[in-house]
Amino acid sequence: RIITAGAREGHTGAVVTAAAQLKAEGVPAILTLPGDIPAAKPMEIDAVIAAASATPAFIIAPAHDEQGSNAILMSPPDAVKLRFGEDSYFPHLAAARAAGITPHILPLPGIAMDIDHPADIARFASLPEAAATQTLAWLKQNGILARLG
């Protein structure tokens, strides 16, 4: 399900608004993923979900540089105060601990591969699993890889 309320407040506002709405509806947990992780695999998402074996729970999969938070599963949906953006990973860990929750950290290579800078596009394109993605096909078709040199 996609909830668009809060989108004008940016990534954090959108997720916090959706979490509040879902909690009010009785949904026990939320999983949030950014749109810039083209190498994420279904089995990695399954691993994040499987890691939530208790409530409260805070499962996080960091970005490759451990600056961003590329997957977060929380139970209940408002268990931890969120703040997305650059350098969100360590503040999210601290926020979970401040809420009395031991964060469960899952380093997952596909989810970790986010696209924040031009160098990230080249790194993504060099991954063996990128060859079968529509993302790589689009990057080639539109000349993006050629322009990156």
Each residue of 44-84: pLDDT tens digit?
Answer: 999 999 999 888 999 999 999 999 999 999 999 999 999 99
| Predicted confidence (pLDDT) per residue in 21-47, tens digit | 999 999 999 999 999 999 999 999 999
Per-residue exposure over 17-46, b if at least 16 CB sit within 10 Å of its own CB, e if not: bbbeebbeeeeebbebbbebbbbbeeebbe
Pick from 55, 56, 41: nearest CA to 106: 41
User: By the 8 A CB rule, do 11 and 85 touch?
Assistant: yes
For residue 89, the SS3 value is helix
Q: Which CATH class is domain 7-114?
A: alpha beta
d(CA 108, CA 70): 10
- What local confidence, expressed as pLDDT, does residue 20 receive? 95
Share of the chain above pLDDT 70, in %: 100
d(CA 134, CA 31): 24
Paired strand residues for 105: 60
| Predicted confidence (pLDDT) per residue in 97-125, tens digit | 999 999 999 999 999 999 999 999 999 99
* Sole residue written with tokens 């810039």: 36
For residue 20, the SS3 value is helix
d(CA 68, CA 16): 17
Own/partner pairs, 5-14, CB within 8 angstroms, 24+ separation:
10/84, 11/84, 11/85, 12/82, 12/83, 12/84, 12/85
In the chain, domain spans? 7-114, 117-149
| Predicted confidence (pLDDT) per residue in 126-141, tens digit | 998 889 899 999 999 9
50 Ramachandran zone, left/alpha/beta (phi>0; psi -120 to 50) = alpha
